Chains A and B, each alone.
Chain A
Amino acid sequence: MFGIFTKSPKPPAASTASAAGWVHRLRSGLSHSRKKLQDSLKGLFGAPLDDAWFEALEDALISADVGVKTSSALIAQLRLAAKEQSIQEASALRPLLKEALVHLLTPMQRTLSPQGHQPYVILFVGVNGAGKTTTIGKLAQHLINQGHSVLLAAGDTFRAAAVAQLVEWGERNQVTVITQEKGDSAAVIFDAIAAARARGIDVVLADTAGRLPTQLHLMEEIRKVKRVITKADATAPHEVLLVLDANTGQNALAQVNAFDEALQLTGLVVTKLDGTARGGVLAAIAGERPVPVYFVGVGEALADLHPFNAQDFVDALIE
């Protein structure tokens, strides 16, 4: 796995090579949970087409966190297609369903290319426990492997030992971490940008404290962090990434809405996809507030962060 991302600065080749690898990871991770879904679907795809089939399929989508609204829409779409193409066999609908999901998710697929600005400032936000700090650790490794120089900003000044956690990631990746004894988030990140500029570093990964969209004072604080970043560099932040836990249910949609409204998100990172959760809520997000997905996290090792690929994601969801 470590050999996949070579020093070559051009990621496309690397990402195709890794695709098989991460799909495998995703599949093996999902296999336990998906068994039930697959079993029910396998049984279904062989059966003749009737209402029960559509209902069971809708249930399967709902169980994968796709959400009532998006599931209903997908099923309605399939019903229409079945009628138009006078499909009699359920198995004939399977590629159509996958196609519909891929069609829904493909616009979300986006590659991170930290170029055009130096330093390229990436701000990470999200609710508590989504995996922001871990994602930064992994992404630092990913970017270093692509030949970028990286600097981390320990902007989570609230949670106990959050700074120490990031510092440890910094040590593992051998990159500098900018911290402050007693500073606020905005000040630390401001300093980090200045430091990165002075040292000619390519990318700044800025960590922030976890916050729930209902904590209005914390949402106000993160807006301030963004404003202060703009003061350090008028073009920054170049990316504002929301880190989403794949275990999250329909609230993920509310998170995307709230953070997008407050900060104008440029992308998502979906973490913990190696568990039994399927991250189906991405389909709901695609339908209602499409924000590009840059990466998915499929494990705890440094190399377990992969570019998001709609086809692979759907393949892993419905085999």
Chain B
Amino acid sequence: MLDNLTERLSGVIKTLRGQSRLTESNIQDALREVRIALLEADVALPVVKDFIQAVRDQALGQSVMQSLTPGQALVGVVHQELTRLMGQDSAALNFATVPPAIFLMAGLQGSGKTTSSGKLAKLLHEQHKKKVLLVSCDIYRPAAIEQLRILAESVGVDFFPSESNQQPVAIALAAVDYARRHFHDVLIVDTAGRLAIDETLMAEIKALHAALSPIETLFVVDAMQGQDAVNTARAFGEALPLTGVVLTKLDGDARGGAALSVRQVTGRPIKFVGVGEKLNGLEPFHPERMASRILGMGDVLSLIEEAHRNVDHAEAQKLATKIKKGQGFDLEDFKMQLVQMKNSGGVAAMMDKLPAQLTRGLPAKGGVDDRSIARLEGIINSMTPQERRFPDLLKASRKRRIAAGAGVPVQEINKLLTQFEQMQKMMKMMAKGGMAKMMRSMKGMMPGLH
């Protein structure tokens, strides 16, 4: 995610660490680096200026004077300020209204409104146990309505059909009526993408808002957006009483500075971030964690939370008991781990959340992908149950047979066994407790790293 910014700031902080005292001139250097890093991360210039000013004021103040390690103090100030800029708490959605709670989605073309509507519907349906109705007021983009219909179907929520020759307000009001009569908890209203300077379309969405009085008006922003994010956010913020922001495509390598800009300009919390192409790729936004991540501390908490959600708890329980009983961790368990890793959004999504220091040594591109997980799975599937339970049985001739069965060279089998052994070691470590220890050995565990 914000890898590049993370690395950049990590670098700055490293140079500061090497110095015994924090002088005005080396703060200057560090702050210049921070400024460039933020600008390269597409944080809008006015926001960067405010940020630097605030950090300078605080860094030269008391906190540094009292601190024993000035380098740490500056990191602290930068971190604190970043967190403050992005909002203090993870903001929850508001449902406190007479149902249906209406959510209105707004944003530029291609920012990801329709996909986010689908992801949001899934999240509300599955995690909040809400009865959700989706409706599209996008009468302009060809097949936009059809797109939402398909998403509703695959998520398993209700869809209110509309036609491109209808008026958006009429569609929305009919949907509200339908939702009321069918006892839906939430109505998500998707809208057409529009430019902030398009007066006709801005008037249209204002009218939509007036007719619906939505309890949530979510502004959908592409994490790759550049300096113009401030202008767009300001215009949408002035036209509509926004209640929150959804930041999309955060799984790309964009440094995501738009997050800071939009948060600052609209004053509204970022409620969700969109990651990945799968419909479960909508996560709560945690400003604190994001700041930690920018500073190279990674987003380990999010990772754990997500793993918790996707892991089959019964299976995990079985594994835990097994390990506790000292029965050991076999290849069957290893396979299960792989499957779960795949379910939690794949390796890329997971790597993304690890601290930059941890992943720096790893190949940035190539090497780690979901396909290698599938390959490992294939190899284990080519083994007999007995071999899976007692991997020590695997000698040359069995390996040859398995390799032929899985359609891979014998070296792949050996590689898998090495990874398995590392995982086994880690399981022992975990049994003894110590997440930190486990994270340190994470590198070895990742399948498919060469």
Contact = CB atoms under 8 A, between A and B. Distances in A.
Interface in B125-146: 140-144, 146
A251 B228 contact: no
Contacts of B254: 249, 251, 254
B336 interface: no
Contacts of A161: 143-144, 146-147, 149-150
A319 interface: no
B40 interface: yes
Interface residues of A, number: 52
B353 to A, nearest CB: 13
A248 B147 contact: no
A131 to B, nearest CB: 6
Given A276-B197, A276-B231, A249 B150 contact: no
B114 to A, nearest CB: 8
Given A249-B254, A250-B255, A300-B140, A212 B228 contact: no
Interface in A179-228: 212-218, 220
Nearest to A33: B231
Contacts of A292: none
B224 A127 contact: yes
Nearest to B367: A216
A158 B277 contact: yes
Interface in B283-307: none
B199 to A, nearest CB: 10
Nearest to B369: A216
Q: How large is the interface on B (under 10, 10 to 19, 20 to 34, 35 or more residues)?
A: 35 or more
Contact of B226 (A128, A164, A281): A281
B225 to A, nearest CB: 5
Contacts of B227: 62-65, 249
Given A165-B141, A274-B195, A300-B140, A129 B228 contact: no
Given A160-B154, A216-B365, A245-B224, 12 more contacts: A128-B277, A161-B147, A165-B143, A214-B348, A214-B352, A249-B254, A250-B40, A251-B42, A251-B253, A272-B109, A276-B228, A276-B232
Interface of A: 29, 32-33, 59, 62-65, 67-68, 127-131, 134, 137, 158-162, 164-165, 167-169, 212-218, 220, 245, 247-252, 254, 258, 272, 274-278, 281, 300
Interface of B: 36, 39-42, 44-45, 108-112, 115, 118, 140-144, 146-151, 154, 195-197, 222, 224-229, 231-232, 235, 249, 251-255, 257-258, 277, 348, 352, 365-366, 368-371
* Top 5 A-B residue pairs of the complex, sorted by shortest distance between their CB atoms: A249-B226, A129-B110, A249-B42, A168-B142, A161-B147
